Structure formats: C-alpha cells, structure tokens
Structure 1
Amino acid sequence: MSNNLKFTAAHSSTFYATLRGRVDAYFAGQGISSHANGAMWFKAIFFLAGYVVLYGLILSNLFGVWAMLGLSIVLGVFAACIGFNVSHDGLHGAFSARPWVNRLMGNSFYLLGANPYVWKLTHNVVHHTYTNIPGHDEDIELAPGLVRLNPEDPLFAWHRFQHIYTFPLYALASLSWVARKDYKKFYQKQIGQHKTPKHPRREHINLFVGKGLYYIAFLIVPYLVLPLAWWQVLLGFVAMHLAEGLVLGLVFQLAHVVEGTEFPLPHGSGTMPDTWASHQLQTTANFAPSSPVAAFICGGLNRQVEHHLFPKVCHIHYPALAPIVRATAAEYGLPYLENKSFGSALYSHYRMLHKLGRPLEKRVKEPVRMSVGAY
C-alpha cells in the first residue's frame, strides 16, 4: 500500500468543474448564501437548548431513578444530534462565513465528550480525502480484527457472525470515543497513511482540559448533587453513551458500507484510478433522502453524496443541490448511490456485513472502470 496516495489528475475530467459551476449558479440565482439560514439556526438552537434542558432536569432531582435513566438515554440522542447538526457543519467551516462562528459551533463537539481538533484531522482531512480506501480511511477499520468492513482486511472465522454481533458494538462507539479514541488518535504518528502533524501546545491542553471538564460534568457533579450511589451515576453515564454511540455508529456506517459502495485500490504507483470527485460518488451513498425526519435529525448526513462533494456548504441546502448532483452525475456516466429509506439502508448494511464475513473473490490492484474513459 503506497503511503503517497494521489488521485488521477483533475484535468482528465470536467465533471467536478461542471458540477461546481452549476451549484455556484444555483446560489447566485437564488440570491442566497451557502451557509446557515433561519431553518439551520432553529435546528442548532433546538438541539443545544434541548441538551441543556435535559441535563438540568436530570440534576434537578425532581424525578425518580428510572425517569432519570430515561432522560439520560434521550440526552445521549440529543448529543448525537448536536454532533450531526451543529458540530459537523461548524468543523467543516460550513455553518457561517465568519470563522469565529464556525469555531464556536465546532466546539459544541465537547458536549459529546469528543475533541474537535482530533475530529478535524481524522474526518475532514483523512476520511474526506481517502474515503473507503483500505489502509487509509480508518473509518472502515472499526474494531480491527473483530469487525471486517472492507474486503482487504484479514478474514477470520468469527466474521461469519459479524452481521449479528456488530450492531451492538456500534453502541460502544461513543464510550470508546470519550475514554480512549481521542487520546489514541492524538498521539498516533499517523492516521491511516497520513502523517500526524506536530500538535500545537494549546491542543494538548484543550484535549485534557476538555475531557476533564466533561468527566466532571457527567460523573462528579451528578454524584455530588443527586442522592444516587456511584454505580447508579455510572449506569446513567453508560446508558447515555450507549444511546449516543448507537445513533452515531449507524448513521455513519449507512453512508459508506452498503451495497453498491466501492473500496477502490490504488495502482502500484500509488495513484487512484479515478479523480477525487468521481471517487466520492463511488464510495458514498445517501439514505432516506425524502424523509423530513431523517433530514432534521441527521444533519444532512443522510445526504452524504452532497456532503462529500461540498463539505463547506451548510447541510440545510443539500435537498436543493441533490437534483443538480444527480443530473450531472448521470450526464457523465457516474453513479449516484441511494437507499430510499433508513430501513432499506440498514438492511443493505446488514447484507454487506454478511457478505464481508465470508470469502470474496480476490481483487486485482489495478481495477479498470469503464466510466473513467467516458469523460
């Protein structure tokens, strides 16, 4: 696997230039910004205010133990929705034209117990550049050895059952994130094949201070102000993160590990067979594109095709961009992958886990794609 991975030169395709021109023309013709509008601000305020209210209700001691446990679970779901709807756009610089607003919204990631700086390295830089490329995109290396999410990973006997045991593992994603993942990624020498830069001193401080404040807010403060045993507080904390992790894990996996998405390999020289934009179309899928509920909850992550092509555009605009992207992709003979509902995407992911848990035909290192020569 080459460390110096690069995509086919952009001049070999006019697809992305054409698409970008059409998207720019849409915003100019409508006389609107590509950043947040009133509807987006409403969503941000709704989820942030809901998070604060739920946290306050738990600390109020107005409810019984079982009610507080239920509130903790709902709080975990709201935390995931903040990640989807607020943090994600802010960290991509899509929320506002003002950098300080994006930083503020991106820092809402601390409310999930996660570190925004580490996320920008692993997600914005690595995942969005090397999507679904084995050995490079660590988003398809969940629990290496235990879960096989790409055909280049070693196949073990227990993978035959991964379509059964993987879904419960997704619920552990948030706990791993808050207690382990950020520390591990921060001190890795490289993420995938991407060398980790030297971190500024302030980011070392932010990592430990942010985590420390989160542990205090969700473990120490509840223990001090509520008439609960330590194990009851810990149980509420775990329940919150199991709910958060399940929501986060499912939404992210339904975009890249479903039937139809590819796991392209580079040529021996380390050059990918396609341009970056066509690669995104081959490795990314939408789900439930017509569902207003999915659009409201998932923060545009149910429209990952549009997001991967235009990560700096606020997700509130993705429904309007989708017909432009679909038509342009068809014009250039490129795929536009989509599952019509959340249920169909979930079942497709289940079938992919089943398929990847069994031997596949060995792939060659230099795949030939008929669509490349077409444009």
Structure 2
Amino acid sequence: MSNTLKFKDKSRSQFFATVRKRVDSYFIEKAISPHANGAMWVKASFFLVGYTLLYGLILSNLFGLWTMLGLAILLGMFAAFIGFNVSHDGLHGAFSSHTWLNRLAGSSFYLLGANPYIWKITHNIVHHTYTNIPGHDEDIELAPGLVRLDPQEELRSWHRYQHWYTIPLYSLASLSWVFRKDYVKFFKSQIGHHDNSSHPRREYIKLFVSKALYYFFFLILPFILLDLTWWQLAIGFVLMHVAEGLVLGLVFQLAHAVEGTAFPIPDEQGDIQAAWAIHQMHTTANFAPRSAMAAFFCGGLNRQIEHHLFPKVCHIHYPAITAIVKSTAHEFGLPYLENRSFGSALLSHFRLLQVLGRSIPAETVQPGQKNVARQVPVSQE
C-alpha cells in the first residue's frame, strides 16, 4: 500500500461547498457564534464540577467501601463525559474562538489520564482524514490479531467469536490509555502513514510529568489518605477505568463500525476515488439523533456526521445544523446513515463484528464507485 493517499474528486462534487455555505449562512442569519454558548458552558461546568466533587468525596474517607466503589465507578463515567463534552471540543478548536481557551479546555483530557498532544495526532489528523481506511486509520486496529475491524486483516478462527468478546474488551481501553497507549503512540515513528518521528521537547516533558501526576493523584495520594489496603485501592482504580473505558469505547465505535459504513480500499495508485467529504458520508453514522440524553452526555458524538464535516463547530450546535446536512446529502444522492437509538446502534455494531469475524463484507469498495457496496439498512428517522 502506498505511504501517501489522496482523495481524487473526479466528479467535482459540489456537496461540501454547498453544505458548508449553508451551514455558514445559518450562523450568519442567526447572528450566533459557531463556538460555545451559554448552554455549553453550563454543560462543561456540570461535568467538571461533578468530577471534582466525586474525587473530593472519595478522598474525604467519610464513606464505606461499597459507597466509595460506587463513587469511583461514577467518577470514571464523568471522566469519559468530560472527554466527550469538554476535551474533544477544545482539542478540535471548537470550544472557543480564543486559542488559549481551546487549549485550556483540551487540557481537561489530562483528567482522563490521557495525553492531548497524542490525541490530536491520532484523532484530529489521522482518523478525521483517513476515516475507516485500512492501513491508515488506526482506530479500526483496536487489538490487531484479536479484533478484526479491518476487512483486509487475515481472518483467524477466533474472530468468529469476536462479537461476544470485543465489547467487553472496550472496558480495558482507558487502562490501556493510562499505562500503555500514549507511550506507544508517542514513540512510534508512524501513526498509520503519518510521520510521527519528531516531537517538540516540551511534549516529552508534558507526557511524563502529566502521567506521573495522574499516578500520584489516583494511586499514591488515595493510598496515603484512605483506610484501604493496596488491593482494595487497586480494585477501585480498575473499576473506575472499566467504567470509563466502556463508555468511551462504545460511543466512539458506534459512529464508524456499524452496518452500512464502508471500509474503503485505496486503488492501485493508493488513492481514494472520491472527495473527502463524500468519503465521510460513507464511513460515518449517527445514533440516537432525537435523544436529549445522548446529546447531553455524548458531547455531540452521537452526531458524528456533523462532527466530521464541521469539527470546528461546537457540538452544542449540531442538532440545529443536522437538518441542513441531511437535506443536502439527500439532494446530492449521498447516504446519511443513522440508527434511531443507542440500542439499535449497539445491535448494529454487534452484527457487523459478527460479519467481520466470518467474511470480508462488500462495504470495502470505494465510496466514489457506483453503489455496489452492500448498504445494509440502518434505522432511519
């Protein structure tokens, strides 16, 4: 496979230019900023204050073991919600028009035990550009050899059971992030085919200092202050991250690994024969678009189509621009994939894991080709 990949828009589609113009006009006509509004500040404050309060309650040593365990699990969930609702927008530059404020919001990622700098490379640059492209998007390489989300990966005997064991594996995602993933990604020479061989000196310092601080505040300090044995503390820490990892893993995977989403293969020249925006429409799906609860807790990640097309627009505005994006997609004859609920999306993900564990699905064609891909029906509004 070529180390470089280009999106070749031979049809010269006007889809993205049209939808971008219409979305821009929406903000101009409404005289509102595409960044955070009052409701967004309330959301961000709720999750940050809730996280701080939960951490403080645990360190207060005023509760019994089972209560502290429940608080630890809830703390893990709040960490994931901060990632969705605060960190994600900040790291995309969507939270504010001020760079320093985006940087501050993005720094909340440290509260998850994760590194914002590495996330911007793996997510903003690689995943958002090369979504679902085998060999380029490492988000479909969850556990190479064990979980098969890349249709080109060798099919092994145990993959036929992956629809049963993959979802529980998501619960380990956060622990991997804290102790392994950031280090591995930071020192890899390439992420996908992105050159990752050189980093500013300050990022080395930030990586190790932030990790040391996280270990101190979540392992050493609780051991000093709480009436817990080391193994009781370890159980609480692990279950906190199990909750965090399961929430993170499920929400992210339901956007790109459900029935109907494509896993395009570059042509012989290493190119995708479609415009980038059209590629996004074939590789991305929404879920629970009418759920106020999903919108509040998932930070707009239940509307991944709008996010991938407009990553610098704060997620608080996604419900308002959804109708624009959907109608424009239909106007240009493009798919607009969505599952009506979280449950239907989860079931669709389960079925796709089952298919990928047994065969190479037809959705591996180029999105620019005539729709010979088996567009498995996704629940429509």
The aligned residue for residue 125 of structure 1 is 125
Q: For 1:133, what is the secondary structure of its paired residue? A: coil
| Residues 333, 371 of structure 1: 8 Å contact kept | no
Q: Is the 8 A contact 1:7 1:276 kept in 2?
A: yes
Q: Find the counterpart in structure 1 of residue 294 from structure 2.
A: 294
Offset from partner CA, 1:325-362 (integer Å, 9 cap, x none): 00000010100000000000000000000000002368
AA of the residue aligned to 2:184: K
Most deviating of 363-372 and 189-198: 363-372
Q: 2:302 aligns to what SS in structure 1?
A: coil
- Asked if residue 341 in structure 1 is aligned to residue 341 in structure 2, the reply is yes
The runs of 5 or more residues in structure 1 that have no matched partner are none
> Which residue in 1 is equivalent to 2:67?
67
2:159 aligned residue? 159
> For 1:192-271, what aligned pairs fall within 5 Å after superposition?
192-271=192-271
Q: Distance in 2 between matches of 1:364 and 1:67?
A: 48
CA deviation after TM superposition for structure 1 residue 2, in Å: 1.2
Instruction: Confirm whether residue 48 of structure 1 aligns to residue 48 of structure 2.
Output: yes
Once the two structures are superposed, residues 194-223 of structure 1 have per-residue CA deviations (whole angstroms, 9 ceiling, x without a partner) of 111510000000000000000000000000
How far apart in 2 are the matches of 1:16 and 1:266? 21
| Separation (CA, whole Å) in 2 of partners of 1:363 and 1:269 | 20
The one-letter code sitting in structure 1 at the alignment partner of 2:173 is A
Question: Residue 195 of structure 2 aligns to which amino acid in structure 1?
Answer: K
Say what the alpha-carbon RMSD is for the aligned residues: 1.5
Q: Tell me the TM-score normalised to structure 2 length.
A: 0.95
Deviations 1:292-315 (A, max 9, x none): 000000000000000000000000
Query: What's the counterpart of residue 80 of structure 2?
Result: 80
Superposition TM-score, scaled by structure 1 size: 0.97
Equivalent position of 1:33 in the other structure: 33
Shift in alpha-carbon separation, 1:364–1:240, aligned structure 2, 3 A: closer
Q: Which amino acid aligns with 2:54?
A: L
Provide the identity percentage.
Answer: 69
The answer to whether the 8 Å contact 1:334/1:371 transfers is: no
Q: 1:63 to 1:284 in 2, by over 3 A?
A: same
Q: Relative to structure 2, which stretch is displaced further, 362-371 or 9-18? A: 362-371
Q: Which residue in 2 is equivalent to 1:169?
A: 169
Alignment of 1:298-317 (within 5 A): 298-317=298-317
User: What is the alpha-carbon distance in structure 2 between the residues aligned to residue 180 and residue 360 of structure 1?
Assistant: 30
Q: Which residue of 1 aligns with 2:21?
A: 21
Q: Secondary structure at the match of 2:241?
A: helix
Contact 1:265–1:367 (CA under 8 A) maintained in structure 2:
no
Greater CA drift, 344-353 or 144-153: 144-153
Amino acid at match of 1:75: L
**Cα gap change, 1:361 to 1:251, in 2 (>3 Å):** closer
Moved over 3 A (4+): 361-368
Retained in 2: the 8 A contact 1:306–1:318? Answer: yes
CA offsets 1:234-291 (integer angstroms, 9 cap, x no match): 1111010000000000000000000000001111111101100000000000000000
Give the conservation status (yes or no) of the 8 Å contact 2:185–2:191: yes
Partner amino acid, structure 2, of 1:22? R
Using the alignment, how far apart are the partners of 1:154 and 1:125 within structure 2? 27
CA contact (8 A) 1:268 1:366 kept: no
Q: Distance in 1 between matches of 2:253 and 2:221?
A: 34
Aligned partner letter, 1:153: E
Query: 1:239, 1:68 → 2: CA distance?
Result: 11
Change (3 A) 1:264 1:361: closer
Structure-2 change in CA distance of 1:5 and 1:71 (3 Å): same
Conserved in 1, the CA contact under 8 Å of 2:8 and 2:272?
A: yes
Contact 2:263 2:365 in 1 (8 A): no
Shift in Å at residue 365 of structure 1?
7.2
Shift in Å, 1:48: 0.2
Quote the Cα distance in structure 2 between the aligned partners of 1:364 and 1:263: 5
